[in-house]
Each structure stands twice: as C-alpha cells, then as structure tokens.
Homo-oligomer: A and B are copies of this chain.
Amino acid sequence: MNIGTAAKRSGVLAKTVRYYEGVGLIPPAMRRANGYRRYHDVDVQTLRFIHRARGLGFSVQSVADLLALWRDQNRASADVRDLALQHVDDVARKIQELETIRQALNDLIEKCHGDNRPNCPILADLAGITDGTDYDRRNDD
C-alpha cells in the first residue's frame, strides 16, 4: 500500500509518517519503481502503536524507546513499566502545575466584577498589588 492508505489505516497523517521516517522513529520505507513509499500491514501496526503511545502523551523519544522494547523479545516488563511510571509522574506534575494555575485564576476571576468599570483585581494582582485595600476604592495601577 502507499503512504496515504497506511496513514488512513493507522490514524497517522501521511505527512507525519514522513516526518517520523525523517527523525528515525520508523526505518526508511522501501520504494516502488516510481519512488513511492511502500507499506505493509506490519508497518500499519507500528504506526498504530506509535499513534496510541503519542495519544498517551509519550514524547517521540519515549515512543522510540517503547518501540525498541516492543521489538525486543528479551525485554523485561520492568523497563516498560519504568518508562510508563516516569511518564505518569511527569503528567501528574503537569496536572499539579495547571491545578495551581486554575485555582489562582478562579480566585482572581471571582473577585472581578466584570462590568464596565476599569477597576479590576486581576490586573491589580498582576501588577503586584497584593494588600487588602478595597479595590473598589483605589486605583489599581
């Protein structure tokens, strides 16, 4: 099959397949006489694997590692698990950061009237005004 078919069957865009080849995530495809890349079912499987792993947020480098383990019949499942643990750790940390941000934003939003008047605790906070002054009676900036 050509790249378009492999792309459709795997869920990876043809453009992205070429990119993956370019960065070495997948080996260079065999070519037909006309120069077209030729793919087989096994390649589609690999692309699906990649697609799922990327969907779980693994970096392209990590996907490369996972692929290597997948192909290694003598792998230890502990190595795969470690990769996943490392990743879930990163994800958890990222979630924490975003939760902190969300909380801070919600606090600020709650305090802001959101009307026609210029006074705004959000801007006041960004500007570094953090005292307890009633923002309705002062100039934020």
Contact = CB atoms under 8 A, between A and B. Distances in A.
Contacts of A141: 70
Interface string A91-102: 110110011011
A56 B104 contact: yes
Interface residues of A, number: 53
B56 A105 contact: yes
Interface string A22-42: 000000000000000000000
A65 to B, nearest CB: 11
A87 B114 CA distance: 15
Interface string A59-103: 000000010011011111110111011011001101100110110
Interface of A: 45, 48-49, 52-53, 56-57, 66, 69-70, 72-78, 80-82, 84-85, 87-88, 91-92, 94-95, 98-99, 101-102, 104-106, 108-109, 112-120, 122-123, 125-128, 141
